[in-house]
Chain A
Amino acid sequence: MSEQTSEIEIEIRNPEGLHMRPAMQFVDLANSFESDISVGHQDISADAKSIMQMTMLAATCGTRLRITAVGPDAARAVEALQNMVNNKFMDDPDVAISEKEG
């Protein structure tokens, strides 16, 4: 098994930011890979496989995050996570809730 390191910088583009639901999707996807994956924002580094740590990043819309994967499937992991972020997590905005009963 060869260890590889793969790294990329991404930008959170969904207006609601990386709130809990997309963060959970991100963590689920990260967990499907064998590599160790971390997400860095400024001086904080979070374990991409931990929902507690990911929510702690408070990544608002426009925040740039650095995804680093180390392990046998590092390149695939980074690519998959990048795609998910670029698709804005298919995030249907939470505003739906306040509009529904309005």
Chain B
Amino acid sequence: MKLADVVCHEAIIAQLGSSDRDRVIEELVQSVAGHKKMKAADAKAMAKAVIERENEASTGIGKGVAVPHVKHKSITEPVAVVGCSQEGIGFASLDKEPVYSVFLLLSPASDPDKHLQAMETIFKNLQKDDFRRFLRQARTHEAIIEAIKDADENSN
């Protein structure tokens, strides 16, 4: 699986409107919901579920990245979105550092294997120093899409 297969390009947010974790999650879920024509009630429920999940255990895995996610019955295929913040977001990360790049993933409730495959794709790429650096430096929608394209081309 490639990043481009799972990331909803139109929903990418190059400059997040907030540095508050919960607002960021809501903003990203809304963005995906808008582009994927999801029901407003589903979007609201998903944002709430992502936040609850995040409160249980942070998905801020360190090095300035976080991967908030949830499985929901209204989702048929995993869909991810990227949001970037210049200020940094408090995510209660493992390394206690702020988060600059957020990968939000919404997965089907009924297909845990697809969720794991999407996570694998995201983590495989987030492990690369270059990819994290490009994302962090990106200021525009185009720059993020370019970073994703480069990462996919450099994946085996």
In the complex, are the beta carbons of A51 and B94 less than 8 A apart? yes
Binding site for A on B (CB under 8 A): 45, 48-49, 52-53, 56-57, 59, 61-62, 67, 69-73, 94, 109, 112-113, 115-117, 119-120, 123-124, 126-127
From residue B104, how far is it (CB to closest CB) to chain A in Å?
13
Interface of B is mostly: helix
In the complex, are the beta carbons of B49 and A95 less than 8 A apart? no
In the complex, are the beta carbons of B113 and A17 less than 8 A apart? yes
- Give A17-53 interface residues, CB cut-off 8 Å to B: 17-21, 24, 51-53
From residue A6, how far is it (CB to closest CB) to chain B in Å?
26
Chain A residues with CB below 8 A from B52, complex form: 97
From residue B97, how far is it (CB to closest CB) to chain A in Å?
14
In the complex, are the beta carbons of B112 and A60 less than 8 A apart? yes
Measured in the bound complex, the distance between the Cα atoms of B56 and A30 in whole Å is: 21
In the complex, are the beta carbons of B120 and A57 less than 8 A apart? yes
Chain A residues with CB below 8 A from B45, complex form: 101
Interface of A is mostly: loop
In the complex, are the beta carbons of A58 and B71 less than 8 A apart? no
In the complex, are the beta carbons of B124 and A56 less than 8 A apart? yes
Q: Which one of B48, B49, B62, B119 lies within 8 Å of A20 (CB-CB)? A: B119
A-B interface, 9 closest residue pairs, ranked by CB to CB distance from nearest = A58-B120, A98-B109, A98-B73, A55-B123, A16-B112, A60-B113, A58-B116, A56-B123, A97-B49
Chain A residues with CB below 8 A from B119, complex form: 19-20, 55, 58
